[in-house]
Amino acid sequence: MEEQVGALWHKLITGAADKRYPREAVSLEQISKTAGILFRAWGGDGGLAVKSAVATQHGAKRSLLQRIAGSHLKTELTWLDGETLNLPATIDLFPSKQLNRDLYLWLIALSATESDPSLPWIVRNQRATLEVLERFPGLLGRYQRLVDALLPMRPQRLAQGEREQEAAICAALKFPGSVESLPAAKRPPQPVYLWLHPNPPSSPAASANNKEPQNHEAGGDVKNIKDRRYQAERVDMPQGKDGFMMMFRAESILSWAEYIKVNRPTEEDQPPDEGAAEDLDRMSVAQDGKTSASRLKFDLDLPCEASDDLPIGEGILLPEWHYKKQLMQPAHCRVQPMLARHAPALPLPAHLSSTARRLRGQFAALTPSKVWFKAQFDGSELDLDACVQFSADRIGGVQAREQGLYKAHHYRDRDLACLLLADLSLSTDAHISDNARVIDVIRDTLFLFSEALSATGDRFALYGFSSLKRENIRFHILKEFERKYNDEVRGRIAAIKPGFYTRMGAAIRHASQLLAKQPATQKLLLILTDGKPNDLDQYEGRYGVEDTRAAIHEARQMGQRPFCVTIDDKGSSYLPHLFGVNGYVVIRKPSELPRELPLLYAQLTR
């Protein structure tokens, strides 16, 4: 009974204190694609991902009901860091769905403008507002409607200093550029939802130390994780025994957040409550210098020479793009070509036989064929139609047209070469069903792709790649251009296995160099992957994305056509920046990849 009364009271008081409109809410998920397109189209940094912002404490005065309810301590505002555009997860501020959507659009436009971070918050946002309205006059009506709806919601009864502060903010909203400074007050002002965050949290990339992470990329079930950035701080690892103290009063532990710096062993059966973690103001993380399990450490260490693939040569030095320094670092990476050491020749797997037979029949229509060219001045046979027309014109007294009377035949050849580069990182060990992993799907895809292209006679090559830092980028040779597709190649495909990371830029550079040596007029570079570029060192995040983008640009300058095929359901958030709007495709059902890729190739080379 006591719990029921408490729940009713909580519902009553929070409902009375909350002045939002959840029925008119617009979520970031609903406009995520539009947000990314508009942000880049309005001049925003194309390398930034769009994610939902974590709520931060604003410190402003709360109403009596809000204090009783214990609510409105935090709010979601908009800010940018080096890798992300952080937007509110949901906007339900106004009693109109259209106004809430307009607020999203306005915040995206405001974020796309360049502003001086050294300027005061109120000046910085006014200048950004003026710049947006000057560049995009069509947003003026939306901005006026948002201001007219927001001003009545601003607090009215305030102390002297806070009242002057609020008056300055209202004037800056009505007449951008009219306020030069924010008056001082005991408390910060109420959040201004039409402006960017006054004190945005620091970027995780900037606050991270230089220690190498010990939690490696590992296989597991493919899951949809809430896409949100949380504030974090690094702390020292707690000393002493693991777990709680042997003697304590249970009622003294008031909340999950108040119990910190506990060395929680990773071998425990029950992980920490993720729901409670979402309510924390700041997540504290520490490194103990240990791997999470001895089995995982064994998987990620380089295998012994007897079981590893066979390296070919001393490796190839390649440059790498440093986007912060805006320069190409020469001889920065080493690509090591490798051959499978234990890969006996094998026939095509039985479960793919019927599909391969159907694909070969479909792709046989693309083989070079004998084509007759009529009305030629020289040829092996007479063109009867042209001869009859010529004779009829002469008998009728019509001046005969000057045209050839012979037929000649030529072979219409498909003058193209295709190189398929497959991601073999450890993330491909993830399961897509109870019976199949990503690596199994990639293996079947390579089989069927090869069967289809063998039927056309097109020149093609197959390679795989993974990496362990910049000095060890493993480039697995499956089929070279000059090698015929046979049981030996099938054995190499069957021997592929997941391992390590995805340093994509260097792999694309080496693949494009191999493709550039082919004499074909059309050159297609297919990249098959399941996620973003990453590696143990600084290649994680924006650095890897920008290096990959630079490598793709270099391939285009060589006259090649890079195209990405991915099964990453979040690929649309970063692939347009890498490959362009028409340079990639996301396969929503990974199990359909073996069947879809050959058909996609037929469309790309039509």
Q: Specify the pLDDT at position 245.
A: 46
Q: For residue range 168-179, list pLDDT tens digits in order.
A: 999 999 999 999
122-147: average pLDDT: 93
Of 525, 543, 523, nearest in space to 533 by CA: 543
Of 428, 416, 490, 396, nearest in space to 460 by CA: 416
Range with the poorest average pLDDT among 335-349, 399-413, 581-595: 399-413
Q: Where are the alpha helices (DSSP H) in 80-234?
A: 97-111, 121-135, 140-150, 160-174, 204-207
Q: Specify the pLDDT at position 216.
A: 41
pLDDT tier at 307, thresholds 50, 70, 90: low
Classify the C-alpha dihedral 193-198-202-205 as positive or negative: positive
Report which residue type is found at 2: E
Q: Specify the pLDDT at position 498.
A: 93
Q: Specify the pLDDT at position 236.
A: 61
For residues 542 and 49, is the Cβ–Cβ distance under 8 A? no
Better pLDDT: 215 or 383: 383
Q: What gap in Å lies between CA 43 and CA 45, rounded to an integer? A: 7
Write the CB contacts of 17 (distance below 8 Å, at least 6 apart in sequence).
63, 65, 66, 68, 69, 71, 72
**Hey, what's the torsion of the CAs at 39, 225, 217, 332, to 10 degrees?**
0
For residues 315 and 335, is the Cβ–Cβ distance under 8 A? yes
Better pLDDT: 57 or 69: 57
pLDDT tier at 235, thresholds 50, 70, 90: low
Q: Please state the length of the chain.
A: 606
Separation in Å, CA 507 to CA 194, 403, 440, 497: 44, 53, 21, 17
Of 526, 504, 408, 511, nearest in space to 458 by CA: 526
Of 136, 226, 134, 135, nearest in space to 177 by CA: 134
Q: For residue range 472-502, list pLDDT tens digits in order.
A: 999 999 999 999 999 999 999 999 999 899 9
Domains of the chain: 20-174 (no CATH), 230-265+274-290 (no CATH), 310-362+414-604 (3.40.50.410), 369-411 (no CATH)
pLDDT tier at 117, thresholds 50, 70, 90: confident
Both tokens of residue 21? 């409109």
3-state secondary structure 525-552: EEEEECCCCECCCCCCCHHHHHHHHHHH
Both tokens of residue 85? 């555009």
89-108: average pLDDT: 93
pLDDT tier at 26, thresholds 50, 70, 90: very high
Q: What gap in Å lies between CA 223 and CA 176, rounded to an integer? A: 45
157-176: average pLDDT: 90
Q: Specify the pLDDT at position 260.
A: 46
Of 484, 460, 465, 487, nearest in space to 476 by CA: 465
Q: Specify the pLDDT at position 259.
A: 43
Of 417, 444, 452, nearest in space to 525 by CA: 417
pLDDT tier at 370, thresholds 50, 70, 90: low
Distance between the two ends of the chain, CA-based, in angstroms? 72
Q: For residue range 425-450, list pLDDT tens digits in order.
A: 999 999 988 889 999 999 999 999 99
